[in-house]
Amino acid sequence: MSETRSIKLGQKGFWAINLTVFMVAYNVSVMPAIMPAIVADLNSSVGYIQSILVLFSLITAAFAPTTENLCRFYGRTPVFFTGLLLYGVGIVLTVLSPTMGVLAVSFSIITGLASTPLVSTPWTIADLVYQGKSQEQATVVLIVASAVGGLSGGLLGGFLASQVGWRWAFVPSLAVLILVWVLKRSLPQLVIRCEQPIDWIGGLLSFFGLGSILAGISLAGEFGWWEPKRIFTIAGLVLPPFPLSIVPTLIAVGLIILGLFMFWQRRQAERFKASLLRIGLLRKQGFVFGMLAAMVHVLITTGVQFNLYQFVPVVMSLNPFQAALTVVPYNLTMVIVVVSVLKLFVLGDRICPKYIVQSGIALLAIGIGILYRSLSIQVTSIGLMPGLIVMGIGSGLFLAYISRLTYAATADHEKPEGSGIYNPVQNLGSSLGRAILGTSLIFFASRDVVDSILNKLGQTIVPAQRSQLIAELQEMFQTLSRQEFREMLIQRVPPPIAAVIRPISLEAAISGMQTSLLIALAFTGICFLLATPLPRYPGDR
């Protein structure tokens, strides 16, 4: 099986792939920015929005192996066109959603499935069409398109949500989609030579394996990591049927299914039958470590930004547009640094690219530390800016070379399949970032509210009762609007405590945010260790 190289990609085709990357990044970034408006309009909660975003990334990542299989069988361009059409349907249904259930199905499921070929195809086309410096320049433009899309999602989406309504925040992406559809004929028709049938069994195993793991992680805040906070039931059946949270059960089941998936892939490859991917690519240390380092970086940055979109409106009393302006220094700085490093090709010629990547991780950690120190009751947008700028510089340096160092271990004919693995794993990191860091913010904020109230009352309770109160407060966070949450809390505490509920809530939010930043800081250490085995230069293997 091989994909033929197009002699060249015209200007319209180049615009088409970059606008596609922009569109997907815009829609992923717009959702956190317009959370308060959706919560108020659909009478929902931030917790549900978090679940929708986690589910979106889960489906996009889990469906990736099957998408690559479809691309090999039917052709990458036809699958891309189908994804584009389905993506438009999903966004239209999202705009028209009357309830959270419809929003979840349209955005998470329909748009999530459609996003998989839209995420991987632009990068694959760039790898196949361009070589040498041209490929490096194309990579710069794609990275910038993704960053600008994320930047626009926060700013433009937040502005439209504040001034007109959250549904209008998706209109710009629909306009871009129409433009991409007009330009689609300019994309190269990649020829596929593959007569093997589609590996549906492998597709199902990969989907359910990844899906089970991510579902377990996303449910941790509500059901507990080990000891059950709540009972998980399906049609009246309690799962698992013993005193253990559903979370480790789902993760264990997912790992077992992924093990079966790897076994199936090896078996299919040995018999020269259809398989989703070649396991040999995952035996290359440089590729695996680079891919995982990039995933952890996405986990950190996505999780921190998601928490800021929850934290800033509550503590600083800002609307969605103002919250987006507060977070924008990170994205803007990252874009400037990536363009400066790669477009000008200055640092890479003088400093070892691996050291640039490691320096970026170190600066990301320093930025998180600065952000941690800046949090207080009197925090302002200006006060958050230094930490976000340093984080942006770190991410820019990291992103400038991480993909090139990762692909140094792959041959040219392996790059399309490498993109089919690398890009979905980044979506996996996005999902994990929202699940782990988002859950930690809510848990630790809830814990501190409970402990502060008990301290004010001068009471002590047994650990089991304290855990139950924290779990109930977490559920309130996830199922009530902010106004309903305050009213419910005031009703359940004595009048002297009700008078200081807001200061207690603000201090708890700051403490929860700081704890989530410490967790993010720990992940930067993991990211640095994963980047250690990378080659010093992209040409090394």
Asked if the peptide bond before residue 243 counts as cis, ω within 30 degrees of 0, the response is no
**Is pLDDT above 90 for 177?**
yes
Mean pLDDT of the region 254-267:
83
Residues β-bridged to residue 232: 239
Provide the percentage of residues in the chain whose pLDDT is more than 70. Answer: 79
d(CA 261, CA 265) in angstroms, rounded, equals 6
Query: Comparing 203-207, 324-328, 337-341, which segment has the lowest mean pLDDT?
Result: 203-207
Question: Which tokens in the block code for residue 260?
Answer: 């079966």
Is residue 193 within 8 Å of 2, Cβ to Cβ?
Answer: yes
Query: Comparing 100-109, 182-191, 450-459, which segment has the lowest mean pLDDT?
Result: 182-191
Each residue's pLDDT tens digit, 214-240: 777 767 766 777 777 777 766 667 677
Instruction: Tell me which H or E stretch contains 232.
Output: strand 232-234
Torsion of CA 501, 502, 504, 508, to 10 degrees: 130
Mean pLDDT of the region 47-59:
73
Instruction: Tell me which H or E stretch contains 431.
Output: helix 415-457
pLDDT given for residue 420 in this prediction:
64
Q: Mean pLDDT in the chain?
A: 80
Number of Cβ atoms within 10 Å of the Cβ of 503: 11
Query: Comparing 61-70, 371-380, 504-513, which segment has the lowest mean pLDDT?
Result: 61-70
pLDDT given for residue 6 in this prediction:
44
Query: What count of Cα atoms within 13 Å lies in the side-chain half-sphere of residue 94?
Result: 31
Ramachandran assignment for 132, one of left (phi > 0), alpha (psi -120 to 50 degrees), beta (any other)? left
Q: How far apart are the first and last CA of the chain?
A: 24
Q: Minimal CA–CA distance to 109: which of 138, 87, 139?
A: 87
Residues β-bridged to residue 238: 233
Question: Which tokens in the block code for residue 59?
Answer: 């489906």
**Is pLDDT above 50 for 1?**
no
Query: Comparing 97-111, 225-239, 279-293, 319-333, which segment has the lowest mean pLDDT?
Result: 225-239
pLDDT given for residue 513 in this prediction:
93
- Residue 4 — pLDDT band, cuts 50, 70, 90? very low
DSSP strand pairing (237-239 vs 232-234): antiparallel
- Residue 7 — pLDDT band, cuts 50, 70, 90? very low
Torsion of CA 511, 515, 518, 520, to 10 degrees: -120
In terms of pLDDT, which residue wins out, 386 or 155? 386
Query: Comparing 75-79, 373-377, 386-390, which segment has the lowest mean pLDDT?
Result: 75-79
Residues β-bridged to residue 237: 234
pLDDT given for residue 469 in this prediction:
75
- Residue 2 — pLDDT band, cuts 50, 70, 90? very low
**Is pLDDT above 90 for 489?**
no
**Is pLDDT above 90 for 408?**
no
Is residue 306 within 8 Å of 53, Cβ to Cβ?
Answer: yes
d(CA 166, CA 39) in angstroms, rounded, equals 10
In terms of pLDDT, which residue wins out, 400 or 238? 400
Each residue's pLDDT tens digit, 101-152: 888 889 988 998 898 888 888 877 877 777 766 776 777 788 888 888 888 8
Helix, strand, coil: what percent of the chain each, to 5?
80, 0, 20
Question: Which tokens in the block code for residue 400?
Answer: 């400038």
pLDDT given for residue 5 in this prediction:
46
pLDDT given for residue 373 in this prediction:
94
- Residue 418 — pLDDT band, cuts 50, 70, 90? low
Instruction: State how far the alpha carbon of 29 is from the alpha carbons of 39, 323, 395, in Å.
Output: 16, 13, 17
Query: Comparing 336-350, 428-442, 445-459, which segment has the lowest mean pLDDT?
Result: 336-350
